[in-house]
Amino acid sequence: MTSNRRISILAAAAALVAGPALADDVVTVGLIVPMTGQQATTGKQEQAGANLYIQLHGDTVAGKKIVLEVKDDAGAPDVTKRLAQDLIANDNAKALMGFGLTPLALAVAPVATEAKVPEIVTAAATAMITEKSPYIVRTSFTLPQAAAPMAQWCLKNAIHKVVTLVADYGPGNDAEKWFGDVFEKGGGQIVEKIRTPLKAPDFAPFLQRVKDDAPEALFVFLPSGQGAAFMKEFAERGLDKSGVRLIATGDVTDDDQLADMGDAALGVVTTHHYSAAHDSPENKAFVAAFEKANAGMRPNFMAVAAYDGMALLYQALDKTKGATDGDALIAAMKGMSWTSPRGPVSIDPDTRDIVQNIYVRKVEKVDGALYNVEFDAIPAVKDPYKAAKQ
Q: Restricting to residues 142-201, which ones interact with ligand DHB according to CB under 6 A?
A: 170-171
Question: How distant, in Å, are the alpha carbons of 37, 45, 63, 311 from that of 55?
Answer: 27, 15, 17, 12
> Helix (H, G, I), strand (E, B), or coil: what is residue 263?
helix
275 is an interface residue for ligand DHB by CB under 6 A:
no
Among 34, 75, 223, 326, binds ligand DHB (CB under 6 A): 223
125 is an interface residue for ligand DHB by CB under 6 A:
yes
Of 225 and 326, nearer to ligand DHB (C-beta) is 225
Of 75 and 341, nearer to ligand DHB (C-beta) is 75
Is the CB of residue 299 less than 8 Å from the CB of residue 276?
yes
Of 125 and 165, nearer to ligand DHB (C-beta) is 125
> Helix (H, G, I), strand (E, B), or coil: what is residue 331?
helix
Q: How far is the CB of 73 from ligand DHB (least distance, A)?
A: 13
Among 45, 80, 126, 253, binds ligand DHB (CB under 6 A): 126
Is the CB of residue 333 less than 8 Å from the CB of residue 231?
no
> Helix (H, G, I), strand (E, B), or coil: what is residue 39?
coil
Reading phi first (left if > 0) and then psi (alpha if -120 to 50, else beta), residue 373 is in: beta
108, 118, 122, 144: which is closest to 386 by C-alpha? 144
Among 176, 240, 251, 256, binds ligand DHB (CB under 6 A): 251
Is the CB of residue 252 less than 8 Å from the CB of residue 167?
no
293, 280, 297, 382: which is closest to 341 by C-alpha? 280
300 is an interface residue for ligand DHB by CB under 6 A:
no
Looking at 89-97, 120-128, 240-248, 291-299, which segment touches ligand DHB (CB under 6 A)? 120-128
284, 245, 294: which is closest to 268 by C-alpha? 245
Looking at 121-129, 131-139, 183-191, 363-371, which segment touches ligand DHB (CB under 6 A)? 121-129
Q: How many residues bind ligand DHB (CB under 6 A)?
A: 12
b (16+ CB within 10 A) / e for 269-289:
bbbbbbbbbbeeeebeebbeb
Q: How far is the CB of 319 from ligand DHB (least distance, A)?
A: 28
Among 38, 45, 80, 102, binds ligand DHB (CB under 6 A): 102
305 is an interface residue for ligand DHB by CB under 6 A:
no
49 is an interface residue for ligand DHB by CB under 6 A:
no
> Helix (H, G, I), strand (E, B), or coil: what is residue 315?
helix
End-to-end CA, the chain: 73
Among 27, 29, 31, 42, binds ligand DHB (CB under 6 A): 42
Looking at 71-79, 118-126, 186-194, 259-267, which segment touches ligand DHB (CB under 6 A)? 118-126
Looking at 16-24, 124-132, 275-283, 348-356, which segment touches ligand DHB (CB under 6 A)? 124-132
47 is an interface residue for ligand DHB by CB under 6 A:
no
How many C-beta atoms lie closer than 10 Å to residue 242's C-beta? Answer: 13
Question: Is 8 buried (19+), middle (13-18) or exposed (0-12) by CB count in 10 A?
Answer: exposed
372 is an interface residue for ligand DHB by CB under 6 A:
no
Of 148 and 159, nearer to ligand DHB (C-beta) is 148
Q: How far is the CB of 332 from ligand DHB (least distance, A)?
A: 26
Q: Which residues bind ligand DHB (CB under 6 A)?
A: 42, 101-102, 123-126, 170-171, 223-224, 251
